Structure 1
Amino acid sequence: MGVRSEVVVSGLNGAEHQAASDNHSARGFRPTKIVSYLENGTLRYTSIWRRQHGNPWRALYGVSSARFRDALDRFAADGFRPVDLSVVFADKSPRFSAIWEQEAGLPWLVPLTRSSQEFADLSHDLRHKGYRLRCFSPYGEAGEESCASIWDLYAGPTWEVRSSMMLDEYENVLGSFAADGLRLVRTVSYNVGQGARYGAIWERSAGHPFVERHGIPLHLLQDEIAAERREGRHLVDLGVTCERENACTFTGIWEQREPPHGRQDGISDLVLPFMRKWSIPGLSLAIAQSGQIETVRAFGYANPITRETVTPETRFRVASVSKPITSTAVHILIERGRLDLGDHVLGEGAVLGTRFGTQPYGRWLREITVRHLLEHTAGGWSNDKHDPMFQRTDLSQSDLISWTLDNVPQDEAPGKRYAYSNFGYCLLGRVIEAASGLSYDAFVRRYVLDRCGAGRMSLARRSAAERHEAEAMYLGMFPAAPYELRVDRMDAHGGWLGSPSDVLNFLARVDPDLPSCDLLHVGSAADMLAPSSLRRASRGQVGYGRGWAVDERGNAWHDGRISGTQALMVRGEKGRHWCAACNAGVPGSSMPDEFHAMMQHVQAVKSSVRDDDTASYKVFREPAESRPVLAMA
C-alpha cells in the first residue's frame, strides 16, 4: 500500500483547519478545493488536499470582503491568481476562503454579484466576451442570493452553468445534461434563508468516468470517501448545505482514478511518476514500427481547469519539432528546382533580396546560404538568452526580422561553426514563401502535412482565447507564461501543433529506410538526416543534419521545449519511431533529458493494455494521382 496522495479534512473550525493546513503543507500536500459553511453558528471548513508538486500556492480562510479584495491585489502583484474560492455569510458579513497559485497565464476576473438575476446577467455578458466560469460560490445574504466567482479568458468546448436550483430541479438537470453529452465539472450546494440550493457547471468534453453524490451527512462523508476510493474514484469537487442545526449535507463529484484503461501496466509505470515529478497535467504518446502505429496512449488532463482529459486526438504545441517539417518543405523545393542549397538568402539577386532590414547588407549577411540556415551555421543568432525570436515581443514577425538584421550582428562569417538558431529557421520560412509564392502555412500544409495524413496539424496561436479545437491548455511553471510567448511568429522554427500520431505520420514519409518514404526521394531524405561537416556525430557529441539531431548509429530526432510545452519525435533503429508531447515545460531544467530517457524506456515496453484505438492511426498513404503539382509562378 503506497503513501496516500489525497486527504480530505472535514468539519473543522478555523483554528483546527489552520492547524491541519500547516500540517499537510509541511508533508508536501497542496489544497485543491475549499468549502466553508456555518454549522450551528460555527464557521467550519472542509478541504481536499493532494500530494503533488506544482507552482507555489497561498490560501486564506474565513477573511472579510475587504481583506479578500486586498489579497487579490497583493497576491496578483507577486504573480498569484485565484483558482478556487468559497463564501459563507457569518457574523453579519460574508467570509471568504480562497486558494491562489503562482502562474502567469490566463486573464482572470473575480466579480461579486448581489442577486441571482445579477449573476445571470453577468454570466451572459462575460460569456459573450469569451470568458469561462472556473468556479462560483453562491451564498445567502439578507434573503438574497449573492455570488462570488472566478472567470478565465480562453476558448474551449460548449459549457453550461445553472444555479439557484431546488433539489428536484438539480436532479432533473443532471440527468438531462448527461443524456445530452455534457460532463459535470463543478457542483455547489448552499443555503439561501432556510432553503437549500444547488448549482453546477458542465462542459461538452472528454473526461474520466465519474459519479455525483448529494445529501451525504457530515458524519458519513469520510466513509463515503473511503468507499469510493476502494472503487478507484477520488473526490474532485465538493459543496455543502446546512438547512437546520446539526444537519449539514455534502454534494460531491468523484472521478475514476488513473491510470487510464482501468489498470496499471508497464507504460503507465514509467509515465505517471514522470508526470507527478514535473507537475504535468497531460501527456500523449504514440509508437510506430515500420511506419505502422502500434501504440497510442493518453494520460491526464488536456485542461486541468475543467478536468478535460487528453485523448489520442488532443493537439499540443510541438515547438522545435517544427524544424524537421520546415526542412522537409525546403528539400521539396530543392527537388523541384525552386531552390538550391547554395542559394544566397539576403541581398541583391538572393532569395529574399532586400526585403528586410536596412541596406546595404554587410558581407557576412550576404554570404548566408540556404545550407547555412538548415545546418545552423549562419554565423550567429544562437538560442541563448539573447535569442532574437524571444526579444521585442511588440514586433510582428516581419519587423522582428528587420530589427534583428539591423541590431543583432553575426558573431562570425557563415560556414565556420555550428550554433543552433531559431532565427535561422524563421528566415527559412520566408525562403519557402519566396520560392513557392505561397504562405509558409499554405505550402507546408499542401505539400507536406496533407500528403501524409497530418492535416490536423495547425500553426499555434498566441493567446488562450485563440485556442484551437482539441488543443491542450498549457501550464506556466515557476512562473513562466506560455500565453505570453509570441508563438504566432515562430511558425517555421517552433510554431506547429499536432498530436503524436500526426507527427509519426509525417515521420513515416521522410524516413529513407522505410518504403513509405515518398515526400522526398530516398537520397534527398538521407542527405537531410546526415550530420553536417560542422556538427558530426560521435560518441561524445550529438550531430546535426539539416533540421535533425543525429547520433553515430543513425538515429535521428528533434525535441521541442518552450514554456508550457515539451515534445519529442524520434526515428530510432530498425524502423522504430516514437513521439510524445505534454502541456508543461521547464526550459533550462533537467526535464527534457528525463523526458527523452522516459520515452526511450516506454518505446521498449510491450504494453499489457490492448490499444484498441490504433486501427485509426495507420500510416496515411496518398494516391499517386492526388499528389499536388508545384506550379511555376
Structure 2
Amino acid sequence: MKSFLKKGSLVLLCSLLSFQAIVSQWVARHNLSPAQYQAAFDEFVKQGYRLSTVSGYTCGGQERYIALWEKKSGPEWAARHGLSGADYQAAFDDFAKKGFRLTHVSGYGVGNQAKFAAIWEKASGPAWAARHNLTAAQYQQAFDDFSKQGYRLLHVSGYVVNNVEYFAGIWEKSAGNAYIARHNLTSSQYQQAFNDFTKQGYVLKTVSGYTKNGTNLYAAIWEKESSPLWAARHGVSNGNYQYVFDNMYYQGYKPVYVNAYTSGNSCEYNAIWTNTNMKGADIAAIDDAVNQYMSSQSVKGLSIAICKDGRLVFAKGYGYADAANGEEMSPDQPLRIMSISKPVTSVGVMTLLDQHKISLDKPVFGPNSILGSKYATPSGKEKLNRITVRQLLNHTSGLRTCNGESVFWDQNKTPDDAMNVLLNSADLITTDTSSQWIYSNTNFFILARVIEQVSGQSYENFIRNNVLNKCGIGNTMYVGEASGNAKSGEATYTPMDKMNLQLWAGFGGWVARPIDLLKFLNRVDGTAIPSDIITAPTQTTMTTGSALKVSYGCGWNVSGLLQNHNGCFDGTRSFLVELGNGLSYSVIVNNNPSNDGCGWTMKGAIEAGLGKVSGYPSYDLF
C-alpha cells in the first residue's frame, strides 16, 4: 500500500468507553490552520469529544482543516493529520498491527504532494481493506475487484496533486443495503445523480470534492436505507459555508459528514446533515409558505425565527442577503427592522417608568417639562406644551409624521438639528392633543430625546444597558449607520436607501436578527416564562390602547393580551408577532415586495404556514 507527516503531527489515542451521555453533543469547525486544528482537537478531546470526520484541504494556498467531533461513547480510537505518504503508510501499518480499523481517510494536495488525515478505531469486525493514491483507472479497477470478492465501499476521498486526480477508499467484506458509488462527476452530473438516487430511496453517505483543470468534480456513495430526515449541500463557497451551516443548525439538523476541497484560489464545502428534531412535513409547511410568498412578491431574501413557550425552536434564512454577490441569507445576519424600533423605544420609556424616573403624564415641552429646558417652544406653537409622554407613545399627540425632511437623510446632522427643523416646521401640529389618532414617526423621535434627557445617556447606550443586555441580546442588534450604509455582516437592501439611521433610531433605525427580536418580545410580553424585564403593571400600561385607538397601546399593536408590530420602508418589510398559545415569530425581508405595502400579506402567508405545523421541538436554540 502506497501512501503520504508533517513533523510534529498529531498522534493521540484515547479511550472513551466509560463516557456516558444522555444526549449526544457535537461541535464543528472549519477553515482551521494546522495549529488551530491541533488546538481545537486537544481542547475537544479533553472535554470528552471524539473525532468523527476530518478533511484536509488548501484555501488560498494555505493548508486548512474542517472537522466534526461528537461527545459519545465508543471504542479506543486514534487520529493523525498532516501525514506524508510514507508517514501515513507507517501509521496505517502500525495501527493495523494493534488491531485498529481505518474508519475515515482524507487525501488532499498541499503544494506538489499529497497529505493525509485519518481516523482509526480499535474494534473487531468483518474483513476490510483500504487503498490510497489510486488513479481514476486504478480506483475503478480496485472497486470492481473488491466488489467481486464481496466487499462494499464504505468511504471514498478524491484529491488532486499536480492536476492528477487520486482516490483513497475503505472497503468492508459484509452484506448490507444496496449502494451506488460514482466518481469524476461534474457539478451538474452530481446534482442529477443526487436527484435520481434520492427519488429511488437512496441516502447520501459520503461526498468528496476535488478540482482538476479548473473543474470541480465529485465522488460519492449512496446507500438504500431507511433514514431520519436528512439534507445535503455541495459546492458551497467559502463565504457562504457558515451561513449554510447556521441555517441547518437552526432547523434542528445535526452534521454527520463534512468535506472541503480547493476550488480555484479559494475553497468549497460539502456536508450531510440529519434531523431527528423536526418532521419533514413541518419544515415543508414553513418552507412552502415562505417560498410561495417570496415567489409571488419577488422577494430576494427573507429571515424568520419562531418561538414556542419562550424557546427558540426554528430559524432560517431564505434566498439572499446580498443577491448581487451571491451571499446566502442566514438567521445570523442582521437586517433593518424599521418601525419595530418603536416597541424598542417604548420599552425604554417603560424601564424609566419602573425606575421611577419619569411620569407618562408629564409634559414634554414647555415650562417644568422634560425637554423644555433644552428645546424652547416656538412662538405660536403653545399647543406643544400640552403633549405628554403617554400621548407620544400612543400616537395621540396631534403631531404629523417625519422622516421626509432632508435633515433625516444627512449623515452630518445631529438630533438637535432634526429637532430644530421639526419644531420650526409650520405644519408640525396637525390636531389638538387627544383629538385624533395619527401614526407619527415624530412621536418616537421625540421619545428618543426624552430617554436621553431623563437617563443622561445616549439613546442607544440606554437601550443597550437597560433593555437589550437584560434580554440577552448581543451586538447583532444595533442602531444603523448615520451614512445609511449596511455594516459588515449585515444584509443589503433593494433599494439601498441612505437615511441617517442614527436619527431614525427611536422610530425606525434599529437593525436586528429575527432571533434578537424574539428574545426581546419574550421579555416584555407579560408571560411568566421567561420573566419580563418590566413589571407587570408597567407591561399592562404598555399594552393598553387609548380611547382613540384601543388596538394600539404604547408603541405596540395590541389584541387582548397579544402584541405585535410591523416595519415597512424602502428595501425592508418586518413583523414581530405574538400569536398566542405560546407561539411567536419574527420575519424580515430585504427588498420591496411587488404588492405588499406594509407586510400584511407576508404576515398572513407566514401564519397560514405556521398553522399547518403539527409540533415543535422541546429544545431551546437561544
Question: Residue 359 of structure 1: CA displacement?
Answer: 3.7
Q: Give the 5 Å matches for 1:237-386.
A: 254-255=235-236, 265-356=284-375, 359-360=378-379, 362-382=381-401
Select 2:572's aligned residue among 561, 565, 580: 565
The corresponding residue for 1:481 is: 496
Partner amino acid, structure 2, of 1:490: W
TM-score (structure 1 length as normaliser): 0.54
Question: Residue 338 of structure 1: CA displacement?
Answer: 1.1
Q: Give the 5 Å matches for 1:457-476.
A: 457-463=477-483, 467-468=487-488, 470-471=489-490, 473-476=491-494
Partner amino acid, structure 1, of 2:570: S
Instruction: Check whether the contact 2:444–2:506 (CA below 8 A) recurs between aligned residues.
Output: yes
1:516 aligned to 2:479?
no
Partner amino acid, structure 2, of 1:487: L
Select 1:507's aligned residue among 505, 521, 525: 521
Question: Residue 508 of structure 1: CA displacement?
Answer: 1.2
* Partner Cα separation in structure 2 for residue 583 and residue 565 of structure 1: 5
Change (3 A) 1:377 1:464: closer
Question: Residue 595 of structure 1: CA displacement?
Answer: 1.2
Question: Residue 313 of structure 1: CA displacement?
Answer: 2.1
Question: Residue 364 of structure 1: CA displacement?
Answer: 1.1
The corresponding residue for 1:403 is: 421
Instruction: Check whether the contact 1:358–1:406 (CA below 8 A) recurs between aligned residues.
Output: no
Question: Residue 329 of structure 1: CA displacement?
Answer: 1.1
Change (3 A) 1:250 1:405: same
Change (3 A) 1:388 1:174: closer
SS in structure 2 at match of 1:399? helix
Change (3 A) 1:298 1:607: farther
1:231 aligned to 2:238?
no
Change (3 A) 1:521 1:223: closer
* Partner Cα separation in structure 1 for residue 405 and residue 293 of structure 2: 29
* Partner Cα separation in structure 2 for residue 584 and residue 399 of structure 1: 30
Instruction: Check whether the contact 2:358–2:454 (CA below 8 A) recurs between aligned residues.
Output: yes
Question: Residue 309 of structure 1: CA displacement?
Answer: 2.8
* Partner Cα separation in structure 2 for residue 347 and residue 474 of structure 1: 42
Question: Residue 336 of structure 1: CA displacement?
Answer: 2.0
Instruction: Check whether the contact 2:574–2:588 (CA below 8 A) recurs between aligned residues.
Output: yes
Moved more, 595-604 or 522-531: 595-604
* Partner Cα separation in structure 2 for residue 327 and residue 600 of structure 1: 26
The corresponding residue for 1:593 is: 600
Partner amino acid, structure 2, of 1:545: G
SS in structure 1 at match of 2:339? helix
Question: Residue 430 of structure 1: CA displacement?
Answer: 0.5
Question: Residue 347 of structure 1: CA displacement?
Answer: 1.8
TM-score (structure 2 length as normaliser): 0.55
The corresponding residue for 2:553 is: 545
Deviations 1:269-311 (A, max 9, x none): 1112222333333322221122122222222332334433333
* Partner Cα separation in structure 1 for residue 484 and residue 410 of structure 2: 21
Change (3 A) 1:587 1:533: farther
The corresponding residue for 1:492 is: 506
Select 1:579's aligned residue among 580, 586, 590: 586
Deviations 1:531-584 (A, max 9, x none): 111112xxxxxx211000123x44310011122222111122222221112222
Q: Give the 5 Å matches for 1:99-138.
A: none
Partner amino acid, structure 2, of 1:505: K
Change (3 A) 1:602 1:589: closer
* Partner Cα separation in structure 2 for residue 559 and residue 604 of structure 1: 20
* Partner Cα separation in structure 1 for residue 331 and residue 417 of structure 2: 38
Instruction: Check whether the contact 1:321–1:567 (CA below 8 A) recurs between aligned residues.
Output: yes
* Partner Cα separation in structure 2 for residue 231 and residue 299 of structure 1: 22
SS in structure 2 at match of 1:353? coil
Change (3 A) 1:225 1:398: same
1:616 aligned to 2:599?
no
Question: Residue 513 of structure 1: CA displacement?
Answer: 3.3
Change (3 A) 1:212 1:399: farther
* Partner Cα separation in structure 2 for residue 386 and residue 399 of structure 1: 14
SS in structure 2 at match of 1:523? helix
SS in structure 2 at match of 1:231? helix
Question: Residue 494 of structure 1: CA displacement?
Answer: 1.2
Instruction: Check whether the contact 1:381–1:387 (CA below 8 A) recurs between aligned residues.
Output: no
Instruction: Check whether the contact 1:322–1:494 (CA below 8 A) recurs between aligned residues.
Output: yes
**Gapped runs of 5+ residues in structure 2?**
1-30, 32-56, 68-157, 165-183, 197-211, 218-233, 254-272, 274-279
Question: Residue 443 of structure 1: CA displacement?
Answer: 1.0
Change (3 A) 1:386 1:175: closer
Instruction: Check whether the contact 2:339–2:567 (CA below 8 A) recurs between aligned residues.
Output: yes
* Partner Cα separation in structure 2 for residue 495 and residue 178 of structure 1: 40
SS in structure 2 at match of 1:506? helix
Change (3 A) 1:178 1:267: farther
Partner amino acid, structure 2, of 1:577: S
Deviations 1:73-130 (A, max 9, x none): xxxxxxxxxxxxxxxxxxxxxxxxxxxxxxxxxxxxxxxxxxxxxxxxxxxxxxxxxx
* Partner Cα separation in structure 2 for residue 309 and residue 461 of structure 1: 23
Question: Residue 224 of structure 1: CA displacement?
Answer: 5.9
Question: Residue 223 of structure 1: CA displacement?
Answer: 8.2
Count residues with an aligned counterpart.
393
Partner amino acid, structure 1, of 2:610: Q
Partner amino acid, structure 2, of 1:365: L
The corresponding residue for 1:418 is: 437
Question: Residue 358 of structure 1: CA displacement?
Answer: 6.5
Select 2:458's aligned residue among 439, 449, 469: 439
Question: Residue 488 of structure 1: CA displacement?
Answer: 2.2
Question: Residue 250 of structure 1: CA displacement?
Answer: 6.5
Partner amino acid, structure 1, of 2:496: A
Partner amino acid, structure 1, of 2:535: H
Change (3 A) 1:223 1:292: closer
| Structure exhibiting the larger radius of gyration computed from Cα positions | 2
Instruction: Check whether the contact 2:300–2:320 (CA below 8 A) recurs between aligned residues.
Output: yes
* Partner Cα separation in structure 2 for residue 599 and residue 392 of structure 1: 36
Moved more, 499-508 or 442-451: 499-508
Aligned-residue identity in percent: 25
* Partner Cα separation in structure 1 for residue 331 and residue 492 of structure 2: 17
Instruction: Check whether the contact 2:346–2:554 (CA below 8 A) recurs between aligned residues.
Output: yes
* Partner Cα separation in structure 1 for residue 448 and residue 327 of structure 2: 34
- When the two chains are superposed, the root-mean-square deviation of aligned CA atoms in Å is 4.1
SS in structure 2 at match of 1:616? coil
Instruction: Check whether the contact 1:322–1:496 (CA below 8 A) recurs between aligned residues.
Output: yes
